[in-house]
A and B are shown apart, each in its own frame.
Chain A
């Protein structure tokens, strides 16, 4: 084993151990958990904690809420970002630099400061405890980065095919939907994953706007398992495993897409 393999091992332990440890905890009984010294692998693996996780709190509901909010804001973000990115990448406009600067500036905007005015507005409009209370802010949260990702993807595609289609009588928007969007599918996908993960991870607004148990998203719902002084760690761990798995699968399947998205959105921005 060379030193670089040791280094890789260290990186893997650092990145994967916490998730694996939660998995191990979720399979242990309460009795095994309160034993010292602690056991590394579960002696008598049990799935009872998963039953509890779904039974003690509406965990399936939390998952559904998270998926619904994340999918809706991802779809909305992609639609709006595609239109904006097309204008910035393909159309000759005088204020292009200004518009790009505004979008880059928006990408550094601190979401926390929106909490007070949006809370006031949502409360006044009776939108607290609704999907809309989260979908709109999440769309805006991801819009700048997704637009920048799409601009860089669109610019990397030669406009010849679109031009040919327009010579054949296709409108500009027709060329966008029928030719550019399919060609830029990898970029759309990348931007979509970034938007999805952003929405999936958000905690502060979800905690503040949708506190009703039936509308809690996963990160907020998981905090419901602990009482004032009680921490049912095996059940919490089981709920965490349920919460981590969907995104973990997404990442395993689409590593390369996510990596290139971070490059285009971050470094280019």
Chain B
């Protein structure tokens, strides 16, 4: 007797149930990536009105001579190198405090959750106000130790530093939450045992906390790295990439080339570069997950 459509075999049902998810992923991830690779080999500018023209790797060769690309690439990688360790350390601090046995837990938890849920674009806007040169609260606090007001947005290094500080502040809440979850899985008996053996608090942190926190740290590092590579919202709302291209990132360049200049061929080549860098980090992550 044939099975009715209401009661298909397990394997058939599984395929049907997974189909929408993989259809969406195929439609919105796999197909666009294929299209991206393809378009990056063409000259395709929507402002010129000309039809697409195959030019091979010419878009990629143009990247090498583009000073803004060089700036954007260096800025993006610097943001990764500075803000990932920065957010990890700050986040670890937040998680350790949030894991302390307070009688009332919600104020500290809320202090981690609120920045986490704050849109990045809001964080950038708020930060622009904090670093505002005349009436900003940062300069006001600094005026206790120095008389000269700092015009943050005029100096390439200071603007970049302010952007990094904002990213670290925003990202440390996410890292803190992931690490807090990891800390809560460490059994208390381990610390009791370590205490009986006469281990100091610092020793306990090095020999019990850090090793057991390793999986959470790995997850936080990889997600942070991939997100940092895509940095857009905070510099876009805080400094608009300036002064010059001092705080311009690859993502901002992709956005400008595509949406403002409608140069899809060149924008695609830029996106492919970012995609490849990001995939390299994802590959490391997948290997970690498989090993675990």
| Cross-interface CB contact of A38 among B108, B140, B173, B223, cutoff 8 Å | B140
Please state if A84 and B18 are interface contacts (CB–CB under 8 Å). Answer: yes
Which residues of chain A have C-beta atoms less than 8 A from B219's C-beta?
Answer: 266-267, 269
A16 touches B114 (CB 8 A): yes
Question: CA of A258 to CA of B132 in the docked complex: distance in angstroms?
Answer: 34
Give the nearest-CB partner of A219 in chain B: B121
Q: Is the CB of A203 within 8 A of B39?
A: no
**For residue B236, which residues in chain A have a CB less than 8 angstroms away from its CB?**
203, 207
Contacts of A106 in B (CB 8 A): 25, 29
Q: Which chain B positions have C-beta within 8 A of A111?
A: 230
B209 at the interface (CB under 8 A from A): no
Nearest A residue to B257, CB-CB = A116
Closest-CB distance, A264 to chain B (whole angstroms): 9
Report the Cα distance A33→B32, complex, angstroms. Answer: 47
User: In the complex, are the beta carbons of B100 and A4 less than 8 A apart?
Assistant: yes
* CB-CB under 8 A for A222 and B125, given A37-B143, A38-B135: yes
CB contacts (< 8 Å) of B181 on chain A: these are 259-260, 262-263, 266-267
Q: Which of A94, A203, A222 has the most CB of B within 10 A?
A: A203
Decide if B233 is an interface residue (CB 8 Å cutoff): yes
Q: A108 to B21, Cβ gap below 8 A?
A: no
Is there a chain B Cβ closer than 8 Å to A81's Cβ?
A: yes
Q: Cβ of A137 < 8 Å from any Cβ of B?
A: yes
Q: Place the interface of chain A in its size category.
A: 35 or more
Chain B residues within 8 Å of A156, by CB: none
User: Is there a chain A Cβ closer than 8 Å to B41's Cβ?
Assistant: no
Contact flag A201-B109 (CB < 8 Å), given A87-B13, A92-B10, A110-B230 = no
In-complex Cβ contact of A203 among B32, B97, B132, B232 (8 A): B232
Q: Is the CB of B120 within 8 A of A8?
A: no
Interface residues of A in 76-100 (CB under 8 A from B): 79-81, 83-84, 86-88, 91-94, 99
Q: Are B108 and A8 in contact (CB under 8 A)?
A: yes
Does A112 touch B at the CB level, under 8 Å?
Answer: yes
Partner of A113, one of B109, B169, B274: B274
Which residue of chain B has its CB nearest to the CB of A18? B126
**What is the bound-complex CA distance between A114 and B232, given in angstroms?**
14
Q: DSSP majority for the A interface?
A: helix
Q: How many contacts between A and B, using CB within 8 angstroms? A: 289
Q: B109: which A residues are within 8 A, CB to CB?
A: 255, 259
A113 CB contacts on chain B under 8 angstroms: 32-33, 36, 254, 271-272, 274-275, 278
CB distance from A13 to the nearest CB of B (A): 8
Contact with A along B90-130 (1 / 0, CB 8 A): 00001001101010001111111111011111110111111
Q: Is the CB of A240 within 8 A of B278?
A: no
Interface string of B13-57 (1 = CB under 8 A from A): 111011011101101110111011001000000100000000000
A-contacting 9-mer, from B67-75, B80-88, B191-199, B282-290:
B282-290
Q: Is B245 close to A, CB under 8 A?
A: no
Q: How far is the CA of A233 from the CA of B177 in the complex (A)?
A: 31
B97 and A11 within 8 A (CB): yes
Could you tell me the distance between the alpha carbons of A204 and B221 in the complex, rounded to whole angstroms?
A: 23
- Stretch from A46-54, A117-125, A157-165, A181-189 that touches the partner: A117-125
Chain B residues in 8 Å Cβ range of A259: 109, 113, 177, 180-181
Nearest chain-A residue to B105 (Cβ)?
A: A255
> Which B residues touch A105, using CB under 8 A?
282, 286
Pairs A-B, 6 closest by C-beta atoms: A15-B111, A117-B32, A263-B181, A219-B121, A84-B21, A87-B17
21 contacts between A and B (CB under 8 A): A11-B98, A11-B108, A18-B130, A38-B135, A83-B18, A84-B21, A108-B222, A110-B229, A114-B28, A114-B29, A117-B31, A117-B33, A171-B6, A203-B232, A203-B233, A203-B237, A218-B119, A219-B119, A237-B129, A259-B109, A266-B219
Q: A105-B286, A113-B36 are in contact. List 18 more A-B contacts (CB 8 A).
A: A16-B110, A87-B17, A88-B18, A99-B18, A108-B282, A110-B229, A113-B272, A114-B33, A115-B254, A117-B35, A136-B24, A140-B29, A171-B6, A203-B121, A223-B121, A231-B128, A231-B129, A258-B113
B residues neighboring A (CB under 8 Å) = 6-7, 10-11, 13-15, 17-18, 20-22, 24-25, 27-29, 31-33, 35-36, 39, 46, 94, 97-98, 100, 102, 106-115, 117-123, 125-130, 132, 134-135, 137, 140, 143, 169, 173, 177-178, 180-182, 184, 215-216, 219-220, 222-223, 226, 229-230, 232-233, 236-237, 250-251, 254-255, 258-259, 264, 267-268, 271-272, 274-275, 278, 281-282, 285-286, 289-290
